[in-house]
Amino acid sequence: MKNLILIIAFLFGRLTSVSAQENNHFELELDPIAYAFGGISGHIAYTFKNQRFQLGYAQVTIPESYRSSEGYTESFKGFPLLKWDIFFGKEDASHGFFAGPTMNYVFTKYESETDEAKAEGFNLGIRGGYKFDLFKKNKMLSGLYLTPWIGVSHNFKADEIELDNQVHSIKSLSIFPTVHLGWSF
């Protein structure tokens, strides 16, 4: 984990040292859907040219309809959440369609009324979405944006867990739709 943090710090430092351009900037994002489910999610990003590199943290209890199996609750903490987006047909990353790879390290907890199991590991995937510049003509609210996106990832963790002396299969493919609210500065 220590080496991973050092690699992330190095990459983020390299990205911020890219020659200064008018369109390079930082962004902060929150996932209001995570907060609606009692969790948290926050991300910081650096944009350069038509690309965005994002580092985030999330913690949430997964809604029942998205759980791997019935009969228990499923929650996760993810850090680092790494995303690299490329904006199509653009010279900058201010708005428009984007897609790119994701890599996350996730700690998942499965709980029943009487037992608990844990799994952790890397998730690799791809995501795509659209970044809406909400108030580009309003100087007071300039920089606020909305980003609906969907991601598909493969979970490199346990295929099965044992909970209450029963074996439960864990989904290896995750589909994750959400909306982020952000601010460019």
Domain 2-184 falls under CATH 2.40.160.20: yes
In which band, very low, low, confident or very high, does the pLDDT at 67 lie, cut at 50, 70 and 90? Answer: low
- Contact yes or no for 173/151 (Cβ under 8 A): no
List the chain domain ranges.
2-184
Q: Which two tokens stand for residue 101?
A: 């790879």
In which band, very low, low, confident or very high, does the pLDDT at 66 lie, cut at 50, 70 and 90? Answer: low
CA distance 17 to 31: 28
pLDDT digits (tens, 9 = 90+) for 10-32: 555 554 444 344 578 999 999 99
Task: Specify the 3-state DSSP secondary structure of 35.
Answer: helix
- Contact yes or no for 98/83 (Cβ under 8 A): no
Q: Say which residue, 4 or 96, is predicted with more confidence.
A: 96
Q: Which two tokens stand for residue 83?
A: 């995303």
Q: Supply the pTM of this predicted model.
A: 0.79
Residues near 154 by Cβ (< 8 Å), separated by ≥ 6? 123, 124, 125, 172, 173, 174
The yes-or-no verdict on residue 117 having pLDDT over 50 is: yes
pLDDT digits (tens, 9 = 90+) for 69-116: 667 888 889 999 999 999 998 788 889 999 999 999 999 898 888 899
